């Protein structure tokens, strides 16, 4: 019975994998050919910032402060506090808004400010927020919240149905921004103390880069028929709040704006000492895998931390482990976080440059989803991310060997994987 159940799961995994693999194989290699990388633009050189700006299409801004908020107990209270203190505007975009205690609390706070005259604009993904709850929707609409759903079903847009809005942006009064990996759901509550509470990072942002977060929100807002956001209610003068250099950028594959894979490959090429990746979904296509292997050949230390058995996308985890062999053979250190689902998206290079936000390292984030990341040049910020990651590594198991190549239970799916992803 156990073997039969496993075979059934393998067939499901294989079917899903074919879709993912075809997406990556058909898109990644060709896109990479059209996205040149400056391999001389090492971190710390004068060429680095222009090279990153060229890939993201966004300028760097100084004078920012980015605060790391760890787990739901760390990020939900300041997010709710900012909402409750809003005077003029709230812009809010996320993938998952799921009915429950967290959704109810956010709905109440948002509706209260809307009734008080604050202009509230919200974008929610139609699939990710399918279980938002009719009462929450009705309460928002009754309160005057301008709520729009990304990618409503349409016969005219059948080719776009697989595209999702995975961005996570909140800006209050144009002055305080939040971004990172969290949605609004009970899974993000608490402090990752048990398997029902996810491990997550989110970030509170102040300074000039908040205007870029606002522009990032407005990108999809206008595509959904919203009017332009103008004036000081949305774009007030922003004072320097710290000494961090930062930029916020979008990726929009439906418009052939494949910013995320281009950025990741350029960032990997800039590394000279270390690449540390903590990400919930890692399934590398050929160009991404090659970029990491090239870094190892340069002597760059590479670490990857991913979820273990507690995983809301077990199929992707199962398939991504096929890549362990090549990564381990190249000297990459791989860790699997054990206590609960780890949903972070953090990249730190050479202890100086960091990228956080919504983007995973899988075919969906690279070539299908709308994503948004925040890049930061700051040793202090990078040091803080590495400190948090080190705490996670203490709760992780280091992987030292890849799954057996000759396990009869995995041989059919492994063979198919090798056919679709020869670089594995």
- The yes-or-no verdict on residue 404 having pLDDT over 90 is no
pLDDT in tens, 224-259: 999 999 999 999 999 999 999 999 999 999 899 999
- Coil, strand or helix: which one is 233? coil
CATH topology of domain 2-59+248-420: Endonuclease; Chain A (3.30.870)
Q: Would you call 97 exposed, middle or buried from its count of C-beta atoms within 10 A (0-12, 13-18, 19+)?
A: buried
> Beta strands of 30-159 (E only): which ranges?
61-70, 89-94, 119-125, 146-150
- The yes-or-no verdict on residue 317 having pLDDT over 90 is no
Domains 2-59+248-420 and 62-244 share a fold: yes
- Domains of the chain: which residue ranges? 2-59+248-420, 62-244
- The yes-or-no verdict on residue 167 having pLDDT over 80 is yes
Element at 254 (helix H, strand E): none
Cα distances from 419 to residues 21, 288, 297, 405, 416, in angstroms, run 10, 18, 26, 14, 5
Q: What is the mean pLDDT of residues 145-167?
A: 78
pLDDT-based confidence at residue 418 (cuts at 50, 70, 90): low
pLDDT in tens, 75-88: 999 999 999 999 99
The CATH architecture annotation of domain 62-244 reads 2-Layer Sandwich (3.30)
Is 189 within 8 Å of 197 (Cβ atoms)?
Answer: yes
- Coil, strand or helix: which one is 11? helix
pLDDT in tens, 29-57: 889 889 999 999 999 999 999 999 999 99
pLDDT-based confidence at residue 60 (cuts at 50, 70, 90): very high
- The yes-or-no verdict on residue 192 having pLDDT over 50 is yes
Give the pLDDT of residue 415: 59
Which one is predicted more confidently, 28 or 5? Answer: 28
Q: What is the mean pLDDT of residues 156-172?
A: 81
Q: What is the mean pLDDT of residues 153-171?
A: 76
- The yes-or-no verdict on residue 338 having pLDDT over 50 is yes
Which residue in the block uniquely carries the two structure tokens 């294989």?
14
**Sequence-ordered list of residues with C-beta below 8 angstroms from that of 307, at least 6 positions apart, any chain:** 280, 317, 336, 337, 341, 342, 343
Q: Would you call 391 exposed, middle or buried from its count of C-beta atoms within 10 A (0-12, 13-18, 19+)?
A: exposed
- The yes-or-no verdict on residue 7 having pLDDT over 80 is no
- Coil, strand or helix: which one is 349? strand
How many C-beta neighbours within 10 Å does residue 96 have?
A: 21
């Amino acid at each position: 019975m156990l073997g039969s159940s496993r075979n059934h799961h393998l067939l499901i995994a294989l079917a899903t994998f074919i879709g993912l693999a075809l997406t990556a194989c058909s898109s990644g290699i060709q896109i990479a050919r059209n996205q040149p990388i400056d391999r001389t633009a090492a971190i710390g050189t004068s060429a680095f910032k222009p090279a990153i700006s060229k890939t993201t299409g966004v300028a760097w801004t100084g004078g920012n402060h980015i605060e790391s908020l760890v787990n739901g107990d760390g990020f939900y209270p300041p997010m709710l506090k900012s909402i409750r203190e809003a005077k003029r505007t709230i812009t809010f975009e996320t993938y998952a808004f799921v009915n429950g205690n967290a959704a109810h609390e956010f709905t109440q706070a948002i509706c209260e400010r809307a009734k008080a005259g604050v202009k509230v604009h919200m974008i929610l993904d139609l699939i990710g927020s399918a279980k938002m709850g009719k009462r929450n929707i009705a309460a928002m609409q009754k309160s005057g919240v301008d709520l729009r759903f990304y990618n409503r079903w349409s016969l005219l847009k059948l080719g776009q149905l697989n595209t999702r809005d995975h961005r996570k942006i909140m800006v209050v009064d144009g002055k305080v921004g939040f971004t990172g990996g969290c949605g609004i759901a009970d899974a993000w509550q608490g402090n990752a103390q048990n398997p029902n509470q996810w491990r997550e990072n989110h970030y509170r942002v102040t300074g000039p880069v908040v205007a870029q977060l606002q522009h990032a929100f407005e990108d999809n807002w206008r595509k959904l028929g919203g009017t332009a956001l103008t004036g000081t209610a949305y774009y007030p003068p922003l004072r320097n709040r710290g000494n961090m250099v930062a930029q916020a950028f979008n990726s929009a594959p439906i418009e052939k704006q494949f910013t995320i894979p281009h950025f990741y490959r350029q960032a990997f090429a800039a590394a000279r000492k270390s690449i540390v990746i903590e990400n919930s979904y890692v399934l590398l296509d050929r160009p991404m895998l090659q970029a990491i292997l090239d870094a190892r050949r340069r002597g760059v230390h590479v670490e990857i931390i991913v979820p273990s058995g507690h995983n809301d996308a077990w199929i992707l985890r199962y398939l991504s482990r096929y890549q362990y062999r090549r990564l381990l053979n190249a000297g990459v250190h791989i860790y699997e976080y054990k206590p609960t689902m780890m949903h972070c998206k953090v990249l730190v290079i050479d202890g100086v440059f960091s990228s956080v936000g919504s983007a995973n390292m899988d075919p969906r984030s690279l070539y299908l989803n709308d994503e948004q990341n925040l890049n930061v040049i700051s040793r202090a910020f990078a040091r803080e991310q590495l400190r948090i990651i080190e705490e996670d590594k203490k709760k992780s198991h280091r992987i030292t060997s890849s799954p057996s190549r000759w396990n009869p239970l995995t041989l059919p799916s492994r063979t198919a994987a090798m056919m679709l992803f020869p670089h594995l």
